[in-house]
Homo-oligomer: A and B are copies of this chain.
């Protein structure tokens, strides 16, 4: 068995497997959007929480993918511990369509108690994702041998602190669910949007000036 723990050197296949899980999970979410039987306009408008939950989950997976992409571009080689931690992250992402469907159903049909349960379940899955993410980021910040350069080590430490800060609103959203489920859902939409808008600002010219036309 120990013999299996070797040669996991290149991150290429871990990236492509992770990308596939991210893409499938983000696309399977669409199966949670129901087809009304009649009075389409009224029913579609009334089902707005389902669309908000869909958007929250899609944007969450999109921002995880973006962050994963950035993180792995700095990895030189990968070891088995990182691969297994990454599988924990993938478990959280793969299961995400379920709390999303639960959340949408509770905001459409459930009573207050059901809504609190649904947002809390969504929050727990988000915490699994955030926890795996923190573990991945923390391991990399302590293992310079896995990175491409010394600058990457500095980056990883700064990134680890950012990850810990980003976990705060995810944790805060769980108790908020008891007071205001819709407000908690709003937080789950706001976090990835905030992240994606920040990430989409133009790259500083000094990071790659070799092809500035």
Contact = CB atoms under 8 A, between A and B. Distances in A.
A208 B35 contact: no
A117 B203 contact: no
Nearest to A42: B117
A133 interface: no
Contacts of A76: 211
Contact of A200 (B22, B81, B98): B81
Interface string A36-70: 01111100100000000010001000100111011
A200 B117 contact: no
Give how many copies assemble into the complex. Answer: 4
B79 A35 contact: no
Nearest to A118: B40
Interface stretch (A9-17, A169-177, A182-190): A9-17
Nearest to A146: B211
Tell me which of A22, A84, A147 has the highest count of chain B C-beta atoms within 10 A of its own C-beta. Answer: A84
A35 to B, nearest CB: 5
A208 B77 contact: yes
Contact of A158 (B3, B74, B203): B3
Given A3-B158, A16-B16, A28-B28, 19 more contacts: A2-B201, A4-B162, A5-B198, A5-B201, A5-B204, A7-B74, A7-B207, A10-B73, A19-B20, A26-B94, A28-B31, A31-B31, A40-B102, A40-B117, A40-B118, A54-B95, A77-B208, A80-B199, A81-B201
Q: Which 5 A-B pairs have the closest CB atoms?
A: A144-B213, A20-B23, A84-B200, A145-B213, A40-B117
Interface of A: 1-10, 13-17, 19-31, 33, 35, 37-41, 44, 54, 58, 62, 65-67, 69-70, 73-74, 76-77, 79-81, 83-85, 87, 90-91, 94-98, 101-102, 105-106, 109-111, 113-114, 117-118, 121, 143-147, 153, 155, 158-159, 162, 195-204, 207-208, 211-213
